[in-house]
Amino acid sequence: MTEPKATNIKWHQQNVTTEMKASLHGHKGATLWFTGLSGSGKSTLANAVALTLHERKVSTYVLDGDNIRYGLSKNLGFSTEDRIENIRRIGEVARLFSDCAVVNLTAFISPFRSDRDIARQLQPNSFVEVYCKADVSVCESRDPKGLYKKARAGEISGFTGIDAPYEAPVSPEVEVDTGVQSIESSVDKVIEYLIRAQIIPG
């Protein structure tokens, strides 16, 4: 865990608690952490779940991997160290959304279990890991950004699933085979978990 460099700082408690915010919203806050290979459907599923939640009057926000790199993490590349820092930042931002009783949905490869574990430790009671399971062959056949093709051609290195590892979740709260299941059934599986976990009303 990264320690603060700043000194003479103090954590200030807020008058409006997370419980008060949840009461106002009519549901709890949580982080749905979508993880999987590039092309596994993380962003697609996260946005589809967000739309379904919105239709159910649930407050949501999607933290997409590419979008975050336009702002919060625009000074980071894709080295191991930068990937770790990127996920650390996202974990902190996701916790703030959860504290506000917003269901936030993060869509990042986040290839290392240790990094995902750190994000979980920040909010152990409101962290929902959603594993978008799809064989690399399926992801490569989709290749929405042409990245697999570039990695195979040696134009980019350190690409997850080709020449860099992806550590699949051991016991995610939700596992969806996005290479086989339809987007509708995948969304249903996530929503069913949120109801069962009493994060959102049924």
* Burial classification of residue 177, based on how many CB atoms lie within 10 Å of its CB (0-12 exposed, 13-18 middle, 19 or more buried): middle
| 65 vs 82: CA distance, rounded Å | 13
Tokens (6 digits) for 39 = 């092309």
The answer to whether 186 is a known catalytic residue is no
| 143 vs 161: CA distance, rounded Å | 12
DSSP state of 124: T
Phi, psi of 31 (to 5 degrees): -110, 120
| 42 vs 30: CA distance, rounded Å | 17
| 146 vs 98: CA distance, rounded Å | 34
Nearest to 14 by CA among 89, 91, 96: 96
Q: Which of 38, 40, 73, 110 is catalytic?
A: 110
| 24 vs 22: CA distance, rounded Å | 5
Q: Are 138 and 179 in contact (CB under 8 A)?
A: yes
Strand partners, 30: 103
Question: Could you list the active site residues?
Answer: 110
